[in-house]
Amino acid sequence: MKKFLSALTVLFAVAIFLPAMTYAELDYRSVPVTYLKEIIGNWYDTKGNLVLTISNDYKLNGCSIVSVGFTADTTAFYKVRIAERSGYRDIEFLNTGSERNSYHEVLVLNYEGNNPLVLRRTKEPRYVESIGGIYLGMDKNQVASLYGQPSNATARYQSNTWTYNNEGFEVGFYYGAVTAVTIFKNGNRRFDWSGLSANSSRADFEYKYNSRVNQRGNLNLGHGELINIESDRVSLRVFTSGYRF
Residues 193 and 228 in one domain: yes
CATH number at residue 205: 3.40.33.10
Q: What is the pLDDT of residues 98-129, one digit of tens each?
A: 666 689 999 999 887 778 899 999 999 999 99
- Does 124 map to a domain? no
Residues 6+ apart with CB under 8 A from 115: none
- Does 204 map to a domain? yes
How many separate domains does the chain show?
A: 2
Residues 150 and 95 in one domain: no
Which helix or strand (DSSP H or E) is residue 129 part of?
Answer: none
Q: What is the pLDDT of residues 2-58, one digit of tens each?
A: 344 344 444 443 333 333 334 346 677 899 999 999 899 999 998 899 999 999 999
Residues 96 and 154 in one domain: no
127 touches 194 (CB < 8 A): no
pLDDT on residue 98: 61
Cα gap 225→245, rounded to integer Å: 12
Q: What is the pLDDT of residues 77-90, one digit of tens each?
A: 899 999 999 999 99
Selection from 88, 85, 44, 93 nearest residue 65 by Cα? 88
Cα distances (Å, whole numbers) of residue 193 to 169, 197, 217 = 17, 11, 20
Residues 169 and 228 in one domain: yes
Cα gap 168→133, rounded to integer Å: 15
Selection from 177, 96, 103, 99 nearest residue 134 by Cα? 177
Which of the 8 DSSP states describes residue 121? S
Q: Which domain holds residue 110?
A: 2-119
Residues 103 and 190 in one domain: no
Taking the CA atoms of residue 34, residue 38, residue 39 and residue 40 in that order, the dihedral angle to the nearest 10 degrees is 70
Taking the CA atoms of residue 34, residue 57, residue 92 and residue 118 in that order, the dihedral angle to the nearest 10 degrees is -110
- Does 125 map to a domain? no
Residues 109 and 140 in one domain: no
Q: Per the confidence metrics, is the pTM higher than 0.85?
A: no
- Does 236 map to a domain? yes
